[in-house]
Copies of this chain bind each other. A is one copy, B any other.
Amino acid sequence: MNIRLIRSYLLDLYKLGAGEKMIKAPTTELANFLGVSQQSVSRILNKLHTQDYIYKELRNRVLWIRITEKGLMEIEDYIKYVNDVYVNPGRFVFEGYVSTGLGEGAYYMSRKQYVTQFESILGFKPYPGTLNVRLKNPFYIYQNRLLRRLNGYKIKGFRTKERVFGDVKAFKAIINDRIDGAVIYAERSIYGFDMLEVIAPEYLRGFFKLKDGDKIKVVIYLNME
């Protein structure tokens, strides 16, 4: 079942109180509330149950349901997303923690072919290194996944006689509300969705006196205009 529909139905069940306790959920009655047929309610509840979003049991031939932990997490993430949509259209706010990467960043960011493109496309000459920001909040990880799907500014890869350097995607960003930089996604990143790679014209660790584990805020602005 489509995740968009799953969220929508889970939300309605939550409204009925199924997030807190077992509730009586006769399919005929839910049909009215959800705006679908009794048969569809039956099918929907069974799918939600199969996919572990709700508990479900028959008591005296009547259904009782309750949303599972997995279902609650899905709802909470979604609610956060919805609110953030409203507060920050066109903006993606992240908070994460300074982290030491594998040192690759410096190597990449000092390649002349990349540097000249960053300079002309983003408008600044990046400091030769990246700041790794680890995301812990599942919502930020979700957002990062979304964002990574967008195209952003494209920095073309190239090849030397030693090896191939892949394409890089960049989004303009503001770090700690002060420095204009960017978040980059290497085509074949070694990091998962819980890591942001940030570049800037300054040495960020120096500028903000950062050490590992320090909290940092990164706001990405989309360039869809």
Contact = CB atoms under 8 A, between A and B. Distances in A.
A131 interface: no
A203 B15 CA distance: 31
A90 B20 contact: yes
Contacts of A224: 16-17, 23-25
Interface in A143-202: 146, 149-151
A206 interface: no
A102 interface: no
A150 B33 contact: yes
Contact of A4 (B4, B75, B81): B4
Interface stretch (A5-13, A48-56, A105-113, A117-125): A5-13
Contacts of A222: 16-17
A19 B33 CA distance: 29
A29 B82 contact: no
B150 A19 contact: no
Contacts of A2: 5
Contact of A14 (B4, B7, B89): B89
Contacts of A24: 224-225
Contact of A85 (B9, B14, B22, B28): B14
A83 B79 contact: yes
Contacts of A14: 85-86, 89
Interface string A125-140: 0000000000000000
A89 B149 contact: no
15 contacts: A4-B4, A4-B9, A5-B5, A15-B89, A16-B89, A16-B222, A16-B224, A20-B90, A24-B224, A25-B224, A28-B151, A33-B149, A35-B149, A75-B86, A82-B83
Q: What 7 A-B pairs come out closest when comparing CB atoms? A: A17-B90, A32-B149, A4-B8, A23-B224, A15-B85, A29-B151, A82-B82
Interface of A: 2, 4-5, 7-9, 11-12, 14-26, 28-29, 32-33, 35, 75, 78-79, 81-86, 89-90, 146, 149-151, 222, 224-225
